[in-house]
């Protein structure tokens, strides 16, 4: 998820574009770049890192330009990989948001025709494809070039010798900003709200040409009209896509994140090369916080589907008590790729001769440089400190890894992969229960302590649910395996301590229902998370959070999204500072 901008009008394009990019940095901030038409040439600036102070930068005078702020997916964050990318003659410049899945084969074909590539990105092929087709009409060349692309793309293209911008939308967002005598093209409305609140949301297949006196849109080669809408939001609201907090926005991005991560690893087969697991006798996960809980779920999946023994270590403990590691595969899970404890655990594991894999969300992060093998999640930038969509993306990678390592017959793997493919739809259905979950949150928001219980895969789900509740609502929530309650935590039960119970329809269902009855007998308010067609549970609890039916192995995703919403609405009811909770940081870069 990157941010792209194009401008044509009467203002200095460099200043308009750099300030607009700054408004889009929540979409990616590892590098940025701008191109401005100056006479019959292009002036380009590219930098690594966030923009910082816009006044620090200026290019040559020009009123036509394009810009990009990057969230790297192909090619690490660097100046050479930053956008805009150009053709061999630096006459055509392109900015792109999305993924070109067939870029490798296109690149080889273009290189065999003499094109010189300078970056590692998927995007650069677009500039060279347009160069191949260009005969003086930029729009025609773009329309021919995009026929060769596979994947998702929102692109804006300019040519040093023409007074126009050409833009294309396919599976990535793109919006035209309609000003008075000036026009903008961008990934998202926050970029244009300083200048106009009149926008056009382009649809898939739209090709737009913008020039000094206006713009035209085509779809399927035919000219089309699109409605001009007025955006009612402030810029801050717009960055959150109209949601009150980034956390809620990111929970709602979960279905798309699952689709993007599945897209990365699934074609006819699961595209994970597991040669790193050759000859191993065990797997050890190292991680912190939410990533540690994902590791616990990884353990459940891998042991269940492969029989390989798995241990899960807190990275901060692993550093000082590294276990013996001969034929050990160490998997380090980290959203940011910069968590100090996890990085140190990876280094120590390598020193002890272990092979190290990392499951990470940030391209070019330190973890990707330490690991022997990298598996990326495709959650995009996560702004809210509380990890939500990134956790789900970690689970999707763990499901695919466990299935790839599994000894199951192909038909069974296929069946499970098919169930994974419908996960985005099932999560959309969990989100439909948002109002009910908000009402239940209102009922528990005044308590200062609560207990989460589960069994089997329900235990790490409960631990993650309790962590979300703790870190954003400041309620002291603890999670326990339900069978552990009798050995102490039972003493905490009563009217002051509500219990959140995860009722998963697997072999633990009956005994879990029993545990719920025991808890209820001690007068705790009980909220159960259960299947939407479970008619039994409501007899024994105060409230039920319903989730759509799925194979019990996949409940880690549906139940976790429901618990993220419960924590969010409880914290909101308590008036907490949700996106930046006290005492916490998005990435803990110190031990």
Under rule CB under 6 A, residue 288 binds ligand AGP = yes
100 or 258: whose CB is closer to ligand AGP?
258
Q: Give residue 476's Cα distance to chain centre.
A: 28
For position 471 contacting ligand AGP by CB under 6 A, the verdict is yes
Binding mask 558-587 for ligand AGP (x = CB under 6 A): -----------------------------x
d(CA 434, CA 501): 18
Among 1, 45, 82, 387, contact with ligand AGP (rule: CB under 6 A): 387
**CA angle, 273 then 285 then 548, to 5°:** 80
Q: Any bridge partners for residue 48, and if so which?
A: 31
**Choices 108-116, 123-131, 166-174, 288-296 (CB under 6 A): range interacting with ligand AGP:** 288-296
Token pair, residue 241, equals 């896509």
In the complex with ligand AGP, the residue whose CB is nearer, 177 or 289, is 289
Site for ligand AGP in 337-356 (CB under 6 A): 339, 342
492 vs 588, beta carbon nearer ligand AGP:
588
Q: Is 300 known to be catalytic?
A: no
385 binds ligand AGP (CB under 6 A): yes
- Eight-state DSSP code of residue 422: T
Q: What does the radius of gyration of the chain's CA atoms come to, in whole angstroms?
A: 25
Report the residue number, 16 or 462, with the smaller CB distance to ligand AGP.
Answer: 462
Handedness of CA 425, 335, 150, 127 (dihedral sign): positive
CB-nearest residue to ligand AGP? 289
Residue 360 C-beta: closest distance to ligand AGP, Å: 8
At 585, list the tokens.
Answer: 């940081």
Main-chain dihedrals φ then ψ at residue 367, nearest 5 degrees: -55, -35
Q: Which of 76, 520, 573, 586 is catalytic?
A: 586
Q: Which stretch binds ligand AGP (CB under 6 A): 169-177, 223-231, 385-393, 531-539?
A: 385-393
Q: Which of 42-50, 136-144, 287-295, 520-528 is the region at the interface with ligand AGP (rule: CB under 6 A)?
A: 287-295
3-state secondary structure of 360: strand
Q: Is 576 marked active-site? A: no
Residue in 2, 288, 300, 576 annotated catalytic: 2
13 token code pair: 């394009």
Strands 526-531 and 499-502: parallel
Q: Which stretch binds ligand AGP (CB under 6 A): 188-196, 331-339, 416-424, 444-452?
A: 331-339
As a residue count, the chain comes to 591
If binding is defined by CB under 6 A, does position 336 make contact with ligand AGP?
yes
- We find the least distance from the C-beta atom of residue 242 to ligand AGP, in angstroms, to be 23
Binding of ligand AGP by 406 (CB under 6 A): no
Query: Interface with ligand AGP includes 386 (CB under 6 A)?
Result: yes
Peptide bond preceding 427: is omega within 30 degrees of 0, i.e. cis? no
Of 69, 186, 187, 334, the one binding ligand AGP (CB under 6 A) is 334
| Segment interacting with ligand AGP (CB under 6 A) among 57-65, 191-199, 286-294, 410-418 | 286-294
Q: Considering the rule CB under 6 A, would residue 251 count as an interface residue with ligand AGP?
A: no
Q: d(Cα 310, Cα 314) in Å, to the nearest integer? A: 14
* 290 part of the interface to ligand AGP, by CB under 6 A: yes
How far is residue 285's CA from residue 293's CA, in Å, rounded to a whole number?
10
Q: Which stretch binds ligand AGP (CB under 6 A): 48-56, 196-204, 333-341, 350-358?
A: 333-341
Q: How far is the CB of 395 from ligand AGP (least distance, A)?
A: 13
| 221 backbone φψ class: left, alpha, beta (φ>0; ψ -120 to 50) | left
Beta bridge partners of 223: 218
DSSP 322: P
Q: How many residues bind ligand AGP (CB under 6 A)?
A: 15
The distance of closest approach from Cβ of residue 550 to ligand AGP in the complex, given in angstroms and rounded to an integer, is 24
Q: Which residue has the tokens 């009402």?
A: 439
| Shortest distance in whole angstroms from residue 462 CB to ligand AGP | 15
How many CB atoms sit inside 10 A of residue 455's CB? 21
How many angstroms separate the CA atoms of 443 and 452, rounded? 16
Helix axes 555-573, 423-431, angle to 10 degrees: 30
| 202 phi and psi angles, rounded to 5 deg | -70, 155
Closest to ligand AGP by CB, 42 vs 463, is 463
| Cβ neighbours of 74 (radius 10 Å) | 16
Question: Exactly one of 152, 162, 291, 558 binds ligand AGP (CB under 6 A); which one?
Answer: 291
- Report the residue number, 453 or 463, with the smaller CB distance to ligand AGP: 463
Nearer to ligand AGP, 291 or 328 (CB): 291
Give the shortest CB-36-to-ligand AGP separation in angstroms.
Answer: 36
Q: Is 283 in the site for ligand AGP (CB under 6 A)?
A: no
The CA distances from residue 181 to 8, 9, 412, 565, in Å, are 9, 6, 60, 44
Stretch of 63-71, 102-110, 284-292, 414-422 lying at the interface with ligand AGP (CB under 6 A): 284-292
Residue from 73, 97, 162, 335 binding ligand AGP (CB under 6 A) = 335
Q: Is 417 exposed, middle or buried (0-12, 13-18, 19+ CB in 10 A)?
A: middle
Sign of the four-CA dihedral 434, 493, 458, 246? positive
Q: Tokens for 39, please give them.
A: 């006479």
- The answer to whether the CB of 48 falls within 8 A of the CB of 31 is yes
Give the nearest distance from C-beta 341 to ligand AGP in angstroms. Answer: 8
Residue 498, token pair as written in the block: 């509500």
Does 588 sit near ligand AGP (CB under 6 A)? yes
Among 3, 65, 289, 364, binds ligand AGP (CB under 6 A): 289
Contacts with ligand AGP, residue ranges (CB under 6 A): 288-291, 334-336, 339, 342, 385-387, 471, 587-588
Q: Report, as residue numbers or ranges, the catalytic residues.
A: 2, 586
């Amino acid at each position: 998820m990157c941010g792209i901008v194009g401008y044509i009008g009467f203002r200095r394009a460099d200043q308009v574009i750099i300030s607009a990019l700054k408004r889009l940095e929540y979409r990616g901030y590892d590098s940025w770049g701008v191109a401005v038409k100056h006479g019959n040439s292009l002036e380009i600036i590219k930098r690594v890192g966030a923009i910082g102070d816009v006044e620090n930068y200026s290019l040559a005078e020009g009123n036509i330009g394009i810009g990009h702020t990057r969230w790297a997916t192909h090619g690490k964050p660097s100046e050479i990989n930053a956008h805009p990318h150009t053709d061999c003659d630096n006459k055509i410049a392109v900015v792109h948001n999305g993924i070109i899945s067939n870029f490798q084969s296109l690149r080889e074909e273009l290189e065999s025709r003499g094109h010189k590539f300078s970056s590692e990105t998927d995007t650069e092929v677009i500039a060279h494809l347009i160069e191949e087709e260009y005969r003086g009409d930029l729009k025609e060349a773009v329309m021919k070039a995009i026929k060769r692309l596979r994947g998702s793309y929102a692109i804006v293209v300019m040519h040093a010798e023409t007074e126009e911008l050409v833009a294309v939308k396919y599976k990535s967002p793109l919006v035209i900003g309609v000003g008075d005598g000036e026009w903008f093209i961008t990934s998202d409305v926050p970029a244009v709200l300083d200048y106009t609140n009149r926008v056009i949301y382009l649809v898939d297949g739209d090709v737009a040409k913008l020039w000094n006196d206006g713009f035209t849109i085509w779809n399927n080669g035919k000219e089309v009209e699109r409605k001009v809408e007025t955006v009612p939001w402030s810029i801050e609201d717009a960055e959150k896509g109209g949601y009150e907090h980034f956390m809620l926005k990111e929970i709602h991005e979960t279905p798309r994140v699952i689709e993007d991560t599945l897209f990365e690893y699934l074609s006819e087969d699961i595209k994970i090369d597991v040669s790193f697991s050759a000859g191993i006798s065990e797997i050890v996960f190292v991680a912190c916080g939410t990533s540690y809980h994902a590791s616990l779920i990884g353990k459940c999946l891998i042991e269940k589907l492969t029989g390989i023994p798995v241990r899960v270590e807190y990275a901060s403990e692993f550093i000082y008590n590294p276990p013996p590691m001969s034929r050990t595969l160490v998997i380090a899970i980290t959203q940011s790729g910069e968590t100090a404890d996890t990085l140190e655990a990876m280094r120590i594991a390598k020193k002890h001769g272990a092979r190290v894999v990392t499951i990470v969300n940030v391209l070019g992060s330190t973890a990707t440089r330490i690991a022997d093998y990298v598996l990326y999640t495709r959650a995009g930038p996560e702004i809210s400190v509380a990890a939500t969509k990134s956790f789900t993306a970690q689970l999707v990678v763990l499901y695919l890894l466990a299935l790839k390592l599994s000894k199951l017959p192909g038909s069974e793997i296929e069946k499970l992969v098919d169930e994974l493919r419908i996960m985005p739809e099932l999560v959309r259905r969990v989100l439909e229960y948002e109002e009910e979950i908000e009402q239940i949150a209102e009922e528990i928001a005044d308590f200062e302590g609560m207990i989460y219980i589960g069994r089997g895969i329900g235990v790490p789900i409960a631990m993650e649910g309790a962590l979300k509740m703790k870190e954003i609502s400041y309620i002291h929530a603890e999670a326990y395996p339900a069978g552990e309650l009798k050995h102490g935590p039972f003493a905490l039960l009563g009217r002051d301590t509500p219990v959140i119970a995860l009722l998963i329809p697997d072999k633990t269902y009956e005994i879990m229902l029993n545990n719920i009855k025991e808890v209820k007998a001690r007068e705790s308010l009980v909220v159960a998370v259960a299947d939407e067609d479970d008619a039994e549970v409501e007899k024994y609890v105060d409230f039920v959070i319903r989730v759509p039916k799925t194979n019990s192995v996949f409940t880690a995703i549906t139940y976790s999204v429901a618990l993220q919403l419960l924590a969010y609405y409880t914290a909101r009811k308590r008036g907490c500072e949700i996106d930046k909770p006290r005492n916490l940081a998005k990435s803990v870069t110190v031990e």
